Homo-oligomer: A and B are copies of this chain.
Amino acid sequence: MARIVQKFGGSSVADADRIRTVAARIARTYRDGNEVAVVVSAMGDTTDELIALARQVNPDPDPRELDMLMSTGETVSATLLSMALHGLGLPAISFTAGQAGIRTDDQHRRALMTSVKPERVRRALEQGRICIITGFQGVNEAGDITTIGRGGSDPTAVAVAVALKAARCEFYKDVDGILTADPRVVPNARKLDTISHEEILELANLGAQVLHPRAVELGQVYGMPLVVRPTFNDGPGTVIQAEEAGEEAGMEQYNRVRGIAHEKGVAKVTVVGVPDRPGIAHRIFQAMADAGINVDIIVQNVSHGGVTDMSFTIAADDLGQAQRLLEPVRTAIGARDISSARGFGKVSIVGTGIQSHPGYAARMFGTLSDAGINIQMITTSDIRITCLIDEAAVEHATRALHTAFNEATAAGQAAAY
């Protein structure tokens, strides 16, 4: 008997059949004697369809109106799920974000939750009801509906779990849990039983979109146990928990690499002949930040004769806009040229502590070299090493790295996607 928050994504509630399946899943947890609060996303592609509808009447829809429009998606799925639970004879009730006490700031389309006071939800849980809460949205001080960004139902679920002092927050997905690599690329990718917050954050930021990074951060900050579980079978999934010390950690000493992440669609930009003066990098990257363009790997070569080259990667989709924005910056800072190219990808190994064991980097570069893959750029964090390579080589590289780091290990404990 525990209080549990369960989160179901859009594909889990994409149609009436799936909604009934999800209801049966929730019913099992409830009938086991637990209090259950559920956070749902909009059905399937509803959010995209609503945005497309908005663009039909106005190519540049107002963010406040768009938030209010998009919020209907979760209201539909929440009420349908509640009705499906009624159909199983269970006392369910749905709540909008406003009714569930989810307050945000005023930044439409990317609002931040400022407080979660789910008094109605708590009372309903204590009355034995299953509470269904619309994910992805909140209400600001003025009473307007806000949304908290793509994938925002994940952070909603954790915030609600924290506010309700739940025992854990479970995320139901179309996968068995967190895997050691993308199974579409690495067929023998394995499910991990546990992974640390830091590791899954690196994986999420690298494009392995299993959990929204803000959900992981909230779970870490508030010490809320998170579990990624499969929607359509009874597997235990993967527990996201703080890094363990002691004997458990000991068995992993042979291999700290938990997962292999990869990403395609990367472009490389080089600003050539940049005067080596303070403030130049700031000028370049502020222009990107102002336009909301995410810059990833940044490499600045050693200066020769007072000039240097500055290279960085961005999503290939952003390249056109970046080129337009950088041209006036180039002129202003007196750089010689801007060269750029699409057609790159990234592969990463992720694992807590790999940075403190230089052998991992050497083994990664050696593996890629043995596979005949040329490394264009390298970037690292405490728990990650990323290499920029040709886009065409990404899948081959991912498989080679998975073989090198994961398949040699004894326990199923030893990897992560």
List A residues at the B interface (Cβ < 8 Å). Answer: 16, 19-20, 23, 50, 53-54, 56-59, 61-62, 64-66, 68-69, 71-72, 75-76, 78-84, 86-87, 93-94, 96, 98-99, 120, 143-145
Cα separation A369 to B96 with both chains bound (whole Å): 60
Given A58-B84, A99-B144, A144-B99 in contact, is the A65-B79 Cβ separation under 8 Å? yes
Neighbouring B residues of A82 by C-beta, 8 Å? 62, 65
Neighbouring B residues of A16 by C-beta, 8 Å? 53, 56-57
Q: What's the nearest-Cβ distance from chain B to residue A388, in Å?
A: 40
Quick one: copies of this chain in the complex? 2
Candidates B61, B65, B79; contact of A66 at CB < 8 Å: B79
Neighbouring B residues of A143 by C-beta, 8 Å? 98-99, 120
Interface of A, secondary structure class, is helix
Candidates B68, B78, B80, B93; contact of A75 at CB < 8 Å: B68
Cα separation A93 to B143 with both chains bound (whole Å): 13
Q: Is the CB of B96 within 8 A of A68?
A: yes
Q: What's the nearest-Cβ distance from chain B to residue A307, in Å?
A: 48
Candidates B69, B83, B84; contact of A79 at CB < 8 Å: B69
Given A62-B86, A143-B99, A144-B99 in contact, is the A80-B53 Cβ separation under 8 Å? yes
Q: Is the CB of B68 within 8 A of A50?
A: no
Cα separation A54 to B56 with both chains bound (whole Å): 27
Q: What's the nearest-Cβ distance from chain B to residue A77, in Å?
A: 10
**What are 27 A-B pairs at a CB distance below 8 A?**
A16-B56, A23-B57, A53-B76, A53-B80, A54-B80, A57-B80, A57-B81, A57-B83, A57-B87, A58-B84, A58-B86, A58-B87, A59-B87, A61-B83, A61-B86, A62-B82, A65-B79, A65-B83, A68-B75, A68-B78, A68-B94, A71-B75, A72-B75, A72-B76, A75-B75, A99-B143, A99-B144
Given contacts A57-B84, A69-B80, A69-B83, 5 further A-B contacts (CB under 8 A): A53-B80, A58-B84, A58-B87, A65-B83, A96-B145
Neighbouring B residues of A64 by C-beta, 8 Å? 93
Neighbouring B residues of A65 by C-beta, 8 Å? 79, 82-83, 86, 93-94
Cα separation A87 to B144 with both chains bound (whole Å): 21
Cα separation A87 to B61 with both chains bound (whole Å): 8
Nearest chain B residue, comparing its CB with the CB of A99? B143
Q: Tell me which of A53, A56, A79 has the highest count of chain B C-beta atoms within 10 A of its own C-beta.
A: A79
Q: Is the CB of A68 within 8 A of B57?
A: no
Q: What's the nearest-Cβ distance from chain B to residue A73, in Å?
A: 8
Q: What's the nearest-Cβ distance from chain B to residue A75, in Å?
A: 5
Cα separation A93 to B98 with both chains bound (whole Å): 19
Neighbouring B residues of A61 by C-beta, 8 Å? 83, 86
Q: Is the CB of B58 within 8 A of A69?
A: no
Neighbouring B residues of A23 by C-beta, 8 Å? 57
The 5 closest A-B pairs by CB, nearest first: A72-B72, A16-B56, A69-B79, A58-B83, A58-B87
Neighbouring B residues of A94 by C-beta, 8 Å? 65, 68
Q: What's the nearest-Cβ distance from chain B to residue A20, in Å?
A: 6
Nearest chain B residue, comparing its CB with the CB of A143? B99
